[in-house]
Structure 1
Amino acid sequence: MTADTMTSRLLSEYGRTYARQAGITLRDKPSPLYRLLVLTVLCSIRIGADTAVAAARELSRAGFRTPRAMAGSSWQARVDALGRANYVRYDESTATALGDGERLVLDRWGGDLRRLGDEADGDPDALRGLLREVPRIGPVGADIFCREVQAVWPWLRPYFDDRACRTAQELGLPHTPRGLGDLVPPEDHASLAAALVRVGLSKDAVRHLRAA
């Protein structure tokens, strides 16, 4: 299978970003960027991605779409929303982390994560460092946010982390960020990164693609 064919299959079969799955129409605006940050926090523990996405949807349905809305919510309301999504075992600690995180976003960036991007000043490493100041977000979470937000922050492209690059290597594709970025138009970088991560989380998917 050629690289072009493999890439097309990745995009068509696995290329839905996690933001899109969570119902977030990602734009360079405060609310969708904050909802992406919340999704990142939810994905940053050892829990299934589908459960984290369901929890992000539930928090959004509860109205917690901005840092101020999150600040106006009670800890119990956050716990209850997470529980409705079966985000169990971590619901109480995550409710606390979300409360601490919204205070950081409000105090440091005035509730507007575009200021986070401005503070990074075009440096992906600086952005990752700033993200790790958010409660619960570590190196993995910082990569999740960067992979997704490159859809609306072109200065981050191409952003393919180690996890995505390892999967690309398994599939016989170029396995550097620049090499992967050259496979698709810049506006598809986030989708390709998501596809590679999804495939990497499923050995059946790797076998399916390699056997075709």
Structure 2
Amino acid sequence: MDVITLVGDCGEPYSKMLGIDLEEGDTAWAKWLLASILYAKPIREESATKTYKAFEAAGLADARSIVDAGWDRLVEILDKGGYTRYDFSTADRLLEIFGSLLKNYGGSLRRLYDSSADGRDLERRIVGLGKGIGPVTVSVFLRDMRRVWPKARPQLTPRIKKSAEALGIRDVTGYADKHGLDVTELETALHRYSRALSGAKGPKCLRR
């Protein structure tokens, strides 16, 4: 697999694919946090995308609306998007995470970011929003957010590490710099490529 071709075919960041412009600030950041939580689960990309769009179509894409919707409504949306395997637990976690964001930061991710002393503190605060946020969710979220958050220093997920190793890439950031690639696009492409390595049905970008 040629890495340059892989990035060209599969490197579109998830936030951009969803039409979320992270330059717009808090409103867009809340949408991306929601999407990141969905994508972090071991579920097909298409299902996570469909579920996010179901939330957006229902007007449930910010802390207040998600909390006000309540558990039953969240489960209904999750089921509509095909997230049935994780519907109950994800509804619990969404209520906890966005409820914590409301309680501790007034629903504002900008306030969370501004309160962070550095990259490590930023990750600690994101994880602190709820038990539904682990290292993979933090990495998925910050991978795109580093374009607008200078303190964002996401760690590579196991999936990305596996793909990089398979393609002979020892230093992902160094490889991106050397070949003039956007590191976010490279990591996104490696994430998508990992599905092919696992034997699962690969994303559409690998089926051309």
Coarse TM-score class (shorter-chain normalised): 0.7 to 0.9
Residue among 95, 98, 102 paired with 1:102: 98
Q: CA deviation at 1:116?
A: 2.1
- 2:86 maps to what in 1? 90
Q: CA deviation at 1:54?
A: 1.5
| TM-score relative to the length of structure 1 | 0.81
Q: Give CA deviations for 1:14-47 in whole Å, capped at 9, x if unaligned.
A: 1111223333222251111111111122233332
Q: Give CA deviations for 1:157-196 in whole Å, capped at 9, x if unaligned.
A: 6x451432432232123x224413414658x222221111
Is 1:34 the counterpart of 2:34? The answer is: no
Q: Which amino acid aligns with 2:79?
A: G
Residues 16, 195 of structure 1: 8 Å contact kept: yes
Q: Which amino acid aligns with 2:174?
A: G
Q: CA deviation at 1:7?
A: 4.1
Aligned-residue Cα RMSD (Å) equals 2.5
What does 1:114-193 correspond to in 2, within 5 Å?
114-123=110-119, 125-135=120-130, 136-156=132-152, 159=154, 161-163=156-158, 164-173=160-169, 175-183=170-178, 188-193=182-187
Moved beyond 6 Å, runs of 4+: none
Residues 122, 151 of structure 2: 8 Å contact kept: no
Q: How high is the sequence identity, in percent, across the aligned residues?
A: 28
- 1:57 maps to what in 2? 53
Residues 173, 183 of structure 2: 8 Å contact kept: no
For structure 1, the 5+ residue unaligned runs are none
1: distance between equivalents of 2:24 and 2:176? 21
Q: CA deviation at 1:120?
A: 2.8
1: distance between equivalents of 2:116 and 2:191? 25
Q: SS where residue 152 of structure 1 aligns? A: coil
- 1:202 maps to what in 2? 196
2: distance between equivalents of 1:105 and 1:14? 32
| TM-score relative to the length of structure 2 | 0.82
For structure 2, the 5+ residue unaligned runs are none
What does 1:69-80 correspond to in 2, within 5 Å?
69-80=65-76
Q: Give CA deviations for 1:130-179 in whole Å, capped at 9, x if unaligned.
A: 2222331111111111112123224436x451432432232123x22441
Q: Which amino acid aligns with 1:63?
A: G
